[in-house]
Structure 1
Amino acid sequence: MQPPLTDLPIKTADKGFYSGFNVDVTVTSKLVVGALVIWAVAFPEQAGSVLSGFNTFILANFGLWYIYVMASFVLVCLVLALWPAAGRLKLGLPDDVPEFSNFSWFSMMFGAGIGVGMLTWAVAEPIYHFRNNPEVIQGAVEGGTAENFINAYQWSYLHWGFSAWASYAIAGLSLAYFAYRRGLPLTIRSSLTPLFGKALSGPVGTVIDIVAVIATILGVAQTLGFGVEQFVAGMSRIGIGEWLMNDEGTASSLGIIVAIVIIMGASTLSALSGVGKGIKWLSNINMGLSIFLLGFLMLFGSTWFGVQALFVGMWEYIINLPSMMFTVYSGDGTGGVADKLEGWQGAWSVFYWAWWVAFAPFVGLFLARISRGRTIREFVLGALIVPAIMCFVWFSFAGGTAIDMELNGAADGAIFGASDGDKIFAMTGLMLGEVLGWGMAVIIVVLLMTYLVTSADSAVLIVNTINAAGDEGPKARPHILFWGAALAAVVAALLLVGGLTAIQTAMVIGALPFSLVMVLMWIALIKAIYNDGRREAAGVTTTFDPDTSETQ
């Protein structure tokens, strides 16, 4: 057995504006993102039509691929946690210890990975599935009734539970393993070295990193798109101005621009301060506010409904998980039940799987960055189970309260009729009345702001890390400013041209090539762990030497 590859040179500029950056990855990524923004603004109808056509083709032909890919992520995480030889391995050198406390680690992981979605979808998604899901389509239960309550939760948990976090865990494990055990650059291409070796120093690796950057920008744009709509709704609720909303009750063009300027301005300033300062403090703040809001809903919301949703819903989710993960609905072209099931799965499960894949390079690299010194088993349990349960608790008490208020007539359709981003404001306003409801709306807006800023500034730092060939050190300020502005431009352009649908479509398209990269990542990781076990048995070193490594 030969020692593992511990040197993967990636060419970077040694002077000029791009000093320290891989010019091919950085410039190509900028050109692709810039072209997308210009195309969407200059030719909105053509852009909308082409993107829609691609989206339809992908959902119709790659639904099975996405479903099986996500199922493989969950299975691989379980194998790595239970495999003794893998679970005890440290993501780093033997003497490395975690940089962050468990609380900060969980806070940053949850905030960057999925936190902002809680404020929109913890209320909105259970309500959607309460009225329509595969059981309703097949006639097993009537939508909008108490009998469909638990069904709504098992499907919500499917989309926000172990599958989502397994995709992040696969990416994070792969990157941390090869960066901190092998001393390779902290970038996407390094995770494929067991398969492609030093060829990743060239064009193959460049393409992989470009795909990761574009997927990251589109995945984060999707999250920010939802957040901007909700932020505008919240600003309107607390009386900042009716001009933020249009006649349809959604964010106006001016409202979108104002929200993006505020969010991206704050996130860029945070990104300039780095992970250990701005991002860490913001993550701790939003975790504290999240606990406060969640505690309020648990104590003063529909507590019994929430408890049922949490425990019974989790039980139904876990026992039905194999079936839900592997079932692929295929239409027959008649417009009947089969077509409706296929349409539902494409609009929900396949869309979510694409979203999590697009988010995975960003969240995975960020998780790797904050997880050095932890074991694989600790990482999997921490990144897979704890955040998933946190999502379940959010969904059960926030969504359960909303459903209960509609069932008992207290809401009288006000929550059902609100836009997705406004549902949580409508619910808390009905619970607390005008004055206290206003105060709670302010807290939710602040919490939303911290989540959005955390997601955006983390994404900017991660994109720069990939562009800088894995360099985690301080990046040139102009590049942070550029990617902050670029991310803002992507969100604004697509929202103004085609609303959230345009962002969703672009994200689904961008996620497809990276889903193949992620499959290769877990194959490479399994191969590396297996071979490292053989190396240990043969007395061959499995980690890099920091005294001789040029990457350290």
Structure 2
Amino acid sequence: MKKLTVVFWAALFILLFFVVYGVIAPDNFQATTAAVRDFISSTFGWYYLLAVTGFVIFCGYIVVSPYGRIKLGKPDDTPDYSYLTWFAMLFSAGMGIGLVFWGAAEPVAHYMTDPPMAETGSDDAVMEAMRFSFFHWGIHAWAIYAVVAMALAYFKFRKDAPGLISGTLGPVLGSYSKGRSGNVIDILAVTATVVGVAGTLGFGAVQINGGVGFLFGVPIGFPSQFVIILIVTVLFMISAYTGLNRGIKILSNVNLVLAVTLFGFLFIFGPTLFNLNLFTNTIGTYIQQLPSMSFRIAPFEEDERAWIDGWTIFYWAWWISWSPFVGSFIARVSKGRTLREFVLGVLLVPAIVGFLWFAIFGGSAIFLEQQGTAAISELATEEALFGVLDNFPLGTVMSLIAITLIGTFFITSADSGTFILGMQTTNGSLTPPKSVKLVWGLMLSITASILLFTGGLQGLENAMIIAALPFSVIMILMAYSLLKSLRIERIALEKEAQKKK
């Protein structure tokens, strides 16, 4: 424990304060976080839209600019992982539980219960449901991760800076990126990481509970979810103790196999032609309407604005609150890749996989609704996936595979989270002490439990939106700092080349 920094103790104190607050006064805690969330959504919605779209534009610029040839590491560094393992890790850490949780639930919700603009249950609602699902889980989400990961990997592996958020801000803040101000930045990153990861783990616990409840009649509620969190905590701590190259690598590949199995099953036995047509059409409308969706705030339509706050702003805040964790993890496994290779891989491959996932699972849910075969929209959000699988051959077997997949995603996310939190609170150490990882593993589980206890799914959403706002400002500084450092390096390389001539 000798490597511990003030960031560890300060972040732990802040989080424990909120945990105790949630235990002692759960109703007040829920009401307070809901009020803060409503204020942020209504007041800073425009800011979230501009910031996240700016991250997409920034990533696009890196791809087409000469900076794209620069490596995330020294000139002779090579990638530590093959493309397949790298993509599996991106997918597992980036949004594995979320895709399984929302893959069927979000499109059918936009179609039948909460459409963005179209009439409920109409053909236009189908198109909107898929397009906005693609929008929420596509390029914008991964651009958020890419900005954080690029900055961390570049400064850590090329400039030998500490693997900390504050370590990426030297070109902008100078000496203020260290000392007390640097600690404040890292404390914000750690708290955002805990809230983001804990929120996602909460979603995983809720859906596992929904699955065993749908299949076996297990009561759905906090007691069952708390038991699930306890069981999975033991499992992911065992995985965390095996280290990055064993535990996370193995589980990431297991996740990929299970996800492909589940996807392949529904692709074959589901409404394949309907889903493929829906996928193709939605890709076209997604690309065509991406600019308008990116800036849509509906200032004169109260209902539409409420929808944007509840869905788009929530997602942008979720991705931002998760970006210190996911960005740190992606940076850790991306050493040796060029900036262009990195951005294209991080933005395009997982996004396309996500589009296919929503087309197959969301498309199947909508098809069942249209045909009157099953009322998926009437099920609880966490049961939607299992309601879809139940209407096809081997539904029970596939549901069991889905529960296993959620569990392994749960373990991978928490495992990765303990590693990243350990790194962030031991001055960027790539081998944080196991005792530190144990502390953060317990803190993740406790935080997820408290958020579920005080507000269920809504409590999880509230916490993530609140945590995201301050870190979004840090992300903007990280992007500017990276660009400034790249310009300085390019000028130095050009001067060196001229001297050689």
Common topology (TM > 0.5) = yes
The question of whether the paired residues in 2 share the 8 Å contact of 1:237 and 1:438 is answered with no
1:499-550: CA deviations, max 9, x gaps?
Answer: 111121111111110000001111111111111111111229xxxxxxxxxx
Q: Which residue of 2 aligns with 1:489?
A: 446
Q: Which residue of 2 aligns with 1:9?
A: none
Aligned: 1:127 with 2:85: no
Q: Give how far 1:198 is off.
A: 3.0
Q: Which residue of 2 aligns with 1:456?
A: 414
Q: Give how far 1:238 is off.
A: 4.2
Q: Which residue of 2 aligns with 1:107?
A: 88
1:184-205: CA deviations, max 9, x gaps?
Answer: 1111111111101233221111
Q: Which residue of 1 aligns with 2:50?
A: 68
The question of whether the paired residues in 2 share the 8 Å contact of 1:237 and 1:441 is answered with no
Aligned: 1:512 with 2:473: no
The question of whether the paired residues in 1 share the 8 Å contact of 2:210 and 2:383 is answered with yes
The question of whether the paired residues in 2 share the 8 Å contact of 1:176 and 1:371 is answered with yes
One-letter amino acid of the structure 2 residue matched with residue 67 of structure 1: L
The question of whether the paired residues in 1 share the 8 Å contact of 2:151 and 2:482 is answered with yes
Q: 1:479 aligns with which of 436, 452, 463?
A: 436
The question of whether the paired residues in 2 share the 8 Å contact of 1:170 and 1:521 is answered with yes
Could you tell me how far apart the structure 1 residues matched to 2:21 and 2:487 are?
47
Could you tell me how far apart the structure 1 residues matched to 2:448 and 2:486 are?
39
Aligned: 1:395 with 2:358: yes
The question of whether the paired residues in 2 share the 8 Å contact of 1:172 and 1:367 is answered with yes
Q: Which residue of 1 aligns with 2:181?
A: 204
Could you tell me how far apart the structure 2 residues matched to 1:421 and 1:43 are?
27
Q: Which residue of 2 aligns with 1:3?
A: none
Q: Give how far 1:406 is off.
A: 1.2
One-letter amino acid of the structure 2 residue matched with residue 207 of structure 1: V
1:332-374: CA deviations, max 9, x gaps?
Answer: xxxxxx1101101000000100000001000000000000000
Q: 1:379 aligns with which of 342, 361, 365?
A: 342
Aligned: 1:214 with 2:191: yes
Q: 1:94 aligns with which of 64, 68, 75?
A: 75
The question of whether the paired residues in 1 share the 8 Å contact of 2:418 and 2:437 is answered with yes
Q: Give how far 1:378 is off.
A: 0.5
Q: Which residue of 1 aligns with 2:385?
A: 424
One-letter amino acid of the structure 1 residue matched with residue 24 of structure 2: A
Query: 1:294 is paired with a residue of what secondary structure?
Result: helix
1:444-463: CA deviations, max 9, x gaps?
Answer: 11111111111111011101
One-letter amino acid of the structure 2 residue matched with residue 151 of structure 1: E
Could you tell me how far apart the structure 1 residues matched to 2:414 and 2:77 are?
29
One-letter amino acid of the structure 1 residue matched with residue 227 of structure 2: V
One-letter amino acid of the structure 1 residue matched with residue 373 of structure 2: A
Could you tell me how far apart the structure 2 residues matched to 1:134 and 1:488 are?
34
The question of whether the paired residues in 2 share the 8 Å contact of 1:71 and 1:325 is answered with yes
Could you tell me how far apart the structure 1 residues matched to 2:404 and 2:26 are?
33
Q: Give how far 1:111 is off.
A: 0.5
Query: 1:431 is paired with a residue of what secondary structure?
Result: coil
1:241-281: CA deviations, max 9, x gaps?
Answer: x3x41xxxxx2232011110112211111112121110000
Aligned: 1:153 with 2:105: no
Query: 2:80 is paired with a residue of what secondary structure?
Result: coil
Could you tell me how far apart the structure 1 residues matched to 2:130 and 2:330 are?
27
Aligned: 1:51 with 2:33: yes
The question of whether the paired residues in 1 share the 8 Å contact of 2:130 and 2:362 is answered with no
Q: 1:447 aligns with which of 405, 422, 440?
A: 405
One-letter amino acid of the structure 2 residue matched with residue 145 of structure 1: S
Structure having the larger proportion of residues in helix: 2
The question of whether the paired residues in 2 share the 8 Å contact of 1:48 and 1:498 is answered with yes
The question of whether the paired residues in 1 share the 8 Å contact of 2:152 and 2:331 is answered with yes
Could you tell me how far apart the structure 2 residues matched to 1:170 and 1:267 are?
28
Could you tell me how far apart the structure 2 residues matched to 1:283 and 1:494 are?
27
Could you tell me how far apart the structure 1 residues matched to 2:380 and 2:369 are?
15
1:259-313: CA deviations, max 9, x gaps?
Answer: 1011221111111212111000000001011111111111111111211221110
Query: 2:71 is paired with a residue of what secondary structure?
Result: coil
Worse-matched range after superposition: 169-178 or 297-306: 297-306
Could you tell me how far apart the structure 1 residues matched to 2:123 and 2:42 are?
33
Aligned: 1:279 with 2:248: yes
One-letter amino acid of the structure 2 residue matched with residue 461 of structure 1: F
Query: 2:461 is paired with a residue of what secondary structure?
Result: helix
Query: 1:135 is paired with a residue of what secondary structure?
Result: coil
Q: Give how far 1:21 is off.
A: 2.0
One-letter amino acid of the structure 1 residue matched with residue 243 of structure 2: G
Aligned: 1:408 with 2:371: yes
One-letter amino acid of the structure 2 residue matched with residue 217 of structure 1: V
Could you tell me how far apart the structure 2 residues matched to 1:304 and 1:123 are?
17
Q: Which residue of 2 aligns with 1:298?
A: 267
Q: Give the TM-score taking structure 1 as reference length.
A: 0.88
1:145-204: CA deviations, max 9, x gaps?
Answer: 233212211111110000000000000000000001100111111111110123322111
Aligned: 1:309 with 2:298: no
Could you tell me how far apart the structure 1 residues matched to 2:321 and 2:181 are?
20
Could you tell me how far apart the structure 2 residues matched to 1:46 and 1:297 are?
43
The question of whether the paired residues in 1 share the 8 Å contact of 2:7 and 2:425 is answered with yes
Could you tell me how far apart the structure 2 residues matched to 1:339 and 1:147 are?
20
Q: Give the TM-score taking structure 2 as reference length.
A: 0.97
Q: Which has the larger radius of gyration?
A: 1
Q: Give how far 1:221 is off.
A: 1.6
Q: Which runs of 5+ in 1 are unaligned?
A: 1-17, 137-141, 246-250, 332-337, 541-552
Query: 1:374 is paired with a residue of what secondary structure?
Result: coil
Query: 1:400 is paired with a residue of what secondary structure?
Result: helix
Q: Which residue of 2 aligns with 1:470?
A: 428
One-letter amino acid of the structure 1 residue matched with residue 422 of structure 2: N
Q: Which residue of 2 aligns with 1:535?
A: 492
Q: Which residue of 2 aligns with 1:234?
A: 211
Could you tell me how far apart the structure 2 residues matched to 1:320 and 1:373 are?
35
Report how many aligned residue pairs link the two structures: 497
Could you tell me how far apart the structure 1 residues matched to 2:200 and 2:410 are?
8
1:28-66: CA deviations, max 9, x gaps?
Answer: 010011111110010112211211111111111111111
Could you tell me how far apart the structure 2 residues matched to 1:459 and 1:381 are?
24
Q: Which residue of 1 aligns with 2:313?
A: 350
